[in-house]
Structure 1
Amino acid sequence: MTDLAAANREFWNTQGTRIFKNQWILNMAKKIADALSENVEWMGIRRRAEGSPPLKLLDYACGFGMVSSALLGQFDVIRGIDISDTSVAAYNEIARKSGIPTEQMVAVQGSIPSTEADTVLAKEEFFDFDLIAISMALHHIDDRVGVLSGLYKRLRSGGVLVVVDLTPEAHSHDHSHNHSHAHSHNGGHDHDHDHDHDNLTAHHTISKHGGFGPEEMKALMVDAGFVPGSFDYKPYLDTTPVMSNVSAQGSCESAKLKPFFIAKAVKQ
C-alpha cells in the first residue's frame, strides 16, 4: 500500500462517518446520483434478457454506497470495494437495513490493483462486470492509470467504465470564493469555510488538484486500455444546490456545489 493509500484509509476510517453526515456532502451526492440515474441509457449498459448472465455493477471506492443506491434497480448483482473498513461496514449496514440480501449487494475492504494476498478480490464474483463506476475518488489516487487498468481487467468484453470527478472549473470555483474543501470520495467535498471548526480537511489524501478535463480523462482511459472512440465526457457545471432528504448535520445547506463530470469508456 502506498503512503497516499494508507493516508486515505486512515482518514476515511476515522473521519468518514462524520463527513458523510454533512449536509453539503449529501447535497452533492444527491446531484451526482441524479446525474447517474438520468444517464443509464447514455452509459450503454446491456439490457436484461432471458437466459443471459446477471447484470453486474462494481462500485469502486464505494464509500457509503451512493452509486450503488442510485443504480440499484438496473443491476442484479452489485459489489462494492473501498479502502476504508469503516465505509465498507456502513455500506453493508445500509444495505442490510434496506432489506437487500448480501447475494445481491455487498462491499468488501480492498483496493485495485489487488495483491496476491487478497484472495477475496481474486474470486470470480469480482470479475466480468457490465459496469464499473468510480465516483469522486480518482483525485485521491496516485497511480491513476494503474487503477483504471485494474478496473478494465474486471469488466466483461463490452463492459463500461464510468468515472465521476471534478472538472477544472471546480478548481477555479475554489479560488474565486476563497474557500477550502475537504474532499469526500464517492459523495463530493466537505465545504470547509474558514470559520468551520470541524477541521475535517483531507488535503493530505489528495493526489490531483484542479480537476480533470476531457482530453486528460480520455488519455487516462486510453492508457488503461479502453477503446478511444468509445470515450465520452459530460460536464455538469451548474452549482445550484439540490437538497438531499437524508437526515444530516452541519451547515452550508445552501452552499454552491462543485462542477463535476461523468465520463465513460468501453472495453473491447
Structure 2
Amino acid sequence: MSENTETNRAHWNEAASTYNNRFSKTIQQIIEEIQKRREWIGVDWVDDASSDGEESSPPKKAVRLLDYACGTGLVSRALAPYVTQCMGIDLSEGMVNEYNASVQNQGIPASEMRAVLGNLIDASDPNPAALSGPEFHDFDIAVVGLGFHHFDDPALAAQRLAERLKKGGVLMIVDFMPHGHFHGHDGHGHGGHGHEHPAQKTVMHMGFSEEEIKRIFEGADVGGGFDFVLLGKGVVFEDGEKGTKMERNVFMARGSKL
C-alpha cells in the first residue's frame, strides 16, 4: 500500500461516521445534479416506472453500477432508482461500514446494493484476488464521485475501471475543475484557514481540465461519445458542523468503452 493510499484510508476512516450529517446539503445537491443528467450519461437504464400494475411484467434487465471510491454512497444513492445492482468499493473500512449500514437501514438486500473493501488502482497488484470474481466485472457503468483528485495516477485508475466495464459500458467522473489550493474546508480535506487540514496531504491533483480528462479517457479506451459538462454555476460545499461554505466548479465527464 502506497503512503498516499494509507493516508487516504486513515483520514476517511476517521471522517466516515460524521460525513453524511456534516455534508448533507452538498451531497443532496450533487445527487440531484447527477439525476438531472441521467439521459446524458448514456446508459440504457432500468425504467423505474416500469411496474404499473400489469399482471405479469417481464423480469428487469440487469443494469449494474460500480461506484468506485464510493464513500458513504453518494453516487449509488443518485443512480440506484435506475439500476438493478450497485457495487461500491472503497479503501476505507469506515466508509464501507457507513455505506452498508445505510443500505441495511433502508431494508435493501445486499444482492442489490453493497460495498466492499478494496483497491483497484494499486500499481503493484493489477488484479486483486478479493476483487477478481464475476460480480466485480461486466458493469454497465463505473463512476468515481469526487475521488479522482485523490488518486496517485488517475490515468491508471481510468484503465483499471475500464477493464471492469462491459463493451459499450460508460465511465463517468464527477470532480473539480482546476483551482488553486483551497482555503476554508469543503468536506474533501482541502485547505484550512492558514493551517494544513489533516486530509490536504491526500489531494494529489488540484482539479482537471476537459482536455486532461479527454486524454485520460482516450488512453483507457473509454473515449466513445466523450462529453464533459459543468454542473450549473458551481457546487456549494457546506460543512454543517463547522459552519463553513465554499463554492467550487464541478464537472461530469462520460465516455463509452470501445
Q: Give the alignment's TM-score, normalised by structure 1.
A: 0.82
RMSD: 2.6
Give the match's secondary structure for 2:16. Answer: helix
Give the match's secondary structure for 1:257. Answer: strand
Decide whether aligned partners of structure 1 residues 203 and 173 sit closer, same or farther in structure 2, where only a CA change above 3 A counts. closer
Of 59, 62, 74, 2:70 maps to 62
CA distance in structure 2 between the aligned counterparts of 1:129 and 1:223, rounded to whole angstroms:
19
What letter is aligned with 1:112?
L
CA distance in structure 1 between the aligned counterparts of 2:165 and 2:175, rounded to whole angstroms:
20
Q: 1:54, CA displacement in angstroms? A: 0.9
CA distance in structure 2 between the aligned counterparts of 1:243 and 1:205, rounded to whole angstroms:
20
Instruction: Please name the residue that 2:140 is paired with.
Output: 130
Q: 1:127, CA displacement in angstroms? A: 0.6
What letter is aligned with 1:79?
M
Instruction: Please name the residue that 1:203 is paired with.
Output: 200
Q: Give the alignment's TM-score, normalised by structure 2.
A: 0.85
More relative contact order, 1 or 2 (CA 8 Å, 6+ apart): 1
Aligned length: 246
What letter is aligned with 2:35?
S
Q: Confirm whether residue 257 of structure 1 aligns to residue 254 of structure 2.
A: no
CA distance in structure 2 between the aligned counterparts of 1:212 and 1:220, rounded to whole angstroms:
10
Identity of aligned residues (%): 30
Q: Confirm whether residue 267 of structure 1 aligns to residue 253 of structure 2.
A: no
Q: 1:193, CA displacement in angstroms? A: 4.2
CA distance in structure 1 between the aligned counterparts of 2:226 and 2:96, rounded to whole angstroms:
30
Instruction: Please name the residue that 1:18 is paired with.
Output: 18
Of 10, 29, 32, 1:31 maps to 29
Q: Confirm whether residue 215 of structure 1 aligns to residue 223 of structure 2.
A: no
What letter is aligned with 1:135?
G
Bigger Cα displacement from structure 2, 232-241 vs 75-84: 232-241
CA distance in structure 1 between the aligned counterparts of 2:12 and 2:237, rounded to whole angstroms:
25
Q: 1:17, CA displacement in angstroms? A: 2.5
Q: Confirm whether residue 110 of structure 1 aligns to residue 118 of structure 2.
A: yes
Gaps of 5+ in 2: 48-57
Equivalent residues in 2 for 1:82-93, closer than 5 Å: 82-93=90-101
CA distance in structure 2 between the aligned counterparts of 1:109 and 1:182, rounded to whole angstroms:
25
Decide whether aligned partners of structure 1 residues 51 and 102 sit closer, same or farther in structure 2, where only a CA change above 3 A counts. closer
Q: Confirm whether residue 234 of structure 1 aligns to residue 229 of structure 2.
A: yes
Gaps of 5+ in 1: none
What letter is aligned with 1:31?
Q
Decide whether aligned partners of structure 1 residues 259 and 219 sit closer, same or farther in structure 2, where only a CA change above 3 A counts. same
Hey, which bits of structure 1, 4+ residues long, moved more than 6 A? none
Decide whether aligned partners of structure 1 residues 28 and 257 sit closer, same or farther in structure 2, where only a CA change above 3 A counts. farther
